[in-house]
Every structure is written in C-alpha cells, then in structure tokens.
C-alpha cells in the first residue's frame, strides 16, 4: 500500500526530460574540473553559476537547511558531502558529484562518481561495479515489475562482487517535489513491493560500499560516511516507467 504514486502526463514528462537533460549537461560541464588540487567549493560554485545561467535553480541549496548547491562525496563519504574550501581533491580520490537543477518547476536528479587522477585497483572496481549496479537496476524497470525487482538486481550483483549495499538511503519519486513516493531501496526481493506503472518517475541511486553497508552521519548533520571508513561509490539517474520499459530522463538531449 502506501501513499498513491503520481503518474506524470506527457506534458509533465517533457518538462522532466528538460530538467533531466540539464542535470546531465551540468555533470558533463563539471567533469573536466575534477582534478587534483581543485576544492569541492570551486566545483560547487561553478555548478551554481552554470545552473543560474541556464535559467534553473539548484534544489539542494537550502533544502532542509543544506548549505550548498550540490553534494560532493569523497572516498568514505556515502552521500550528502558538503562542498568546502578545506576539501582539496587528491590524486587517487573518488568523488561523487550529485546535482539537482529545478527547471520550470521540475527536478532533474543525477550523480556520477569520478576518479581524481589514477584510482587504486579496488577504487576502480568499486566504481565500475556501482555503475553496473545502476544499469542493472534500470534494466529491471518495466510496467508490472515490482520495486523489489530493482533492489534485488542491484544487491545480487554488488554482493557477488564482494561489496555491500547501503540501506539507510534510497531512491525516490521525483517530479515537482524533490523526494516523494515511491521509496526505491537498492536491496530487496524480486516480486515484492509496489507495482510499477507507466508514468511513474523515480530515481535509482545505488550507494555501494567496499566494506560494511553501515553508515554514520557526521557532526555537521549531513555528511554520511561508512562506519568502517572504507570506500563508497554512487551513480544516479532519474527514470520514467514507459509503456514497454523505461526512459532515462537524465541523459543529454
């Protein structure tokens, strides 16, 4: 059961495509900046400038008091890392950049994990596995499939590769609201959970850990880190359920 899940009209899906495309374009724009010596505040400030210049608004800024325009999550940071002048990217780091522009009232939510310089072998494997987890989660999306099918596809692959799936943060319905029904866990059981219908829109955003799946939130009340301080990676797309499968909304058009 749970709250009703909104089905978007064709017109609304077109707005979601525009917002999603902008999110993808923003990540492409930021990608070349992600180099040793750059601070996460510099990445944030460029994201904010670019978003405004494209007629959009950065959803994270002020959201439940979040202080910056994007999330930047380095190494053991699982999600919700706060950009800072003190945070200088180092060779070998991995960093997730999560952006959510609002365009014409609709939200486009996407993130990628980038390598800073040359990754360690385990960092490379973790990031590659996490991207494949997102791909497998997306492939499970079609009418009459269940929410649990998505999580099962992700969990099976992540655990088979020797990694763990974060439980405390999930994908979410998204439209003119940042976080709404349904919740989309990145673990679960096939055939369980709510049934997918054409017009549903939600994110899939697996956070995959090198060690334990357990997380803790730091004193700043945002930064979520792995309990064992081992690495965590994440990729995110905003997805629409279509008549015959899915559409990735956060791709450049």
- Selected from 44, 113, 155, 203, the binder of Co ion by CB under 5 A is 203
Binding segment for ligand MF3 (CB under 6 A), chosen from 24-32, 61-69, 85-93, 208-216, is 61-69
Q: Is 109 in the site for ligand MF3 (CB under 6 A)?
A: yes
- Distance of CA 125 to CAs 26, 63, 131, 209, Å? 25, 33, 10, 11
Closer of 15 and 68 to ligand MF3 (Cβ): 68
* Cα–Cα dist 184/5, whole Å: 12
Q: Cis omega before residue 182 (within 30°)?
A: yes
Kindly provide the b/e burial profile for residues 163-177, where b requires at least 16 CB atoms within 10 angstroms of the residue's own CB.
bbbbeebbbbbbbee
Counting every residue written for the chain, the total comes to 253
Closer of 69 and 164 to ligand MF3 (Cβ): 69
Q: Is 71 in the site for ligand MF3 (CB under 6 A)?
A: yes
Q: Among ligand MF3, Co ion, none, what binds residue 66 when CB lies within 5 to 8 Å by partner kind?
A: ligand MF3
- Selected from 98, 108, 123, 185, the binder of Co ion by CB under 5 A is 98
- Selected from 17, 80, 146, 237, the binder of ligand MF3 by CB under 6 A is 80
Q: Are the beta carbons of 126 and 234 closer than 8 angstroms?
A: no
Least distance to Co ion from the beta carbon of 204, Å?
9
Closer of 17 and 112 to ligand MF3 (Cβ): 112
Mark 215-244 with x for binding to Co ion (rule: CB under 5 A) and - for no binding.
Answer: ---------------------x--------
Q: Is 236 in the site for ligand MF3 (CB under 6 A)?
A: yes
Closer of 66 and 115 to ligand MF3 (Cβ): 66
Closer of 75 and 238 to Co ion (Cβ): 238
Q: Is 66 in the site for ligand MF3 (CB under 6 A)?
A: yes
- Contact residues for Co ion, defined by CB under 5 A: 98, 109, 111, 203, 205, 236
- Contact residues for ligand MF3, defined by CB under 6 A: 60, 63-64, 66, 71, 80, 98, 100, 109, 203, 205, 236
């Amino acid at each position: 059961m749970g709250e009703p899940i909104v089905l978007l009209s064709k017109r609304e899906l077109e707005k979601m495509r525009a917002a999603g495309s902008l999110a993808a374009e923003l990540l492409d724009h930021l990608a070349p900046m992600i180099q040793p010596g750059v601070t996460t505040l510099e990445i944030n400030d460029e994201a904010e400038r670019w978003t405004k210049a494209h007629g959009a608004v950065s959803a994270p800024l002020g959201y439940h008091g979040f202080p910056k325009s994007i999330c930047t999550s380095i190494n053991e940071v699982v999600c919700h890392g706060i950009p800072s002048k003190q945070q200088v990217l180092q060779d070998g780091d991995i960093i997730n950049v999560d952006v959510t522009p609002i365009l014409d009232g609709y939200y486009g939510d996407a993130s990628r994990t980038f390598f800073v310089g040359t990754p360690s072998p385990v960092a490379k494997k973790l990031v590659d596995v996490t991207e494949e987890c997102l791909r497998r989660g997306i492939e499970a999306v079609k009418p009459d499939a269940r929410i649990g099918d998505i999580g099962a596809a992700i969990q099976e692959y992540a655990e088979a590769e020797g990694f763990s799936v974060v439980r405390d943060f999930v994908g979410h319905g998204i439209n003119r609201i940042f976080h709404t029904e349904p919740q989309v866990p990145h673990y679960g059981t096939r055939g369980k959970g709510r049934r997918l219908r054409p017009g549903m829109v939600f994110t899939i955003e697996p956070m995959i850990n090198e060690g334990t799946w357990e997380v803790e939130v730091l004193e700043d009340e945002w930064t979520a880190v792995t309990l064992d301080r081992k690495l965590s990676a994440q990729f995110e797309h905003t997805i629409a359920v279509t008549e015959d499968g899915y559409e990735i909304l956060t791709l450049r058009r």
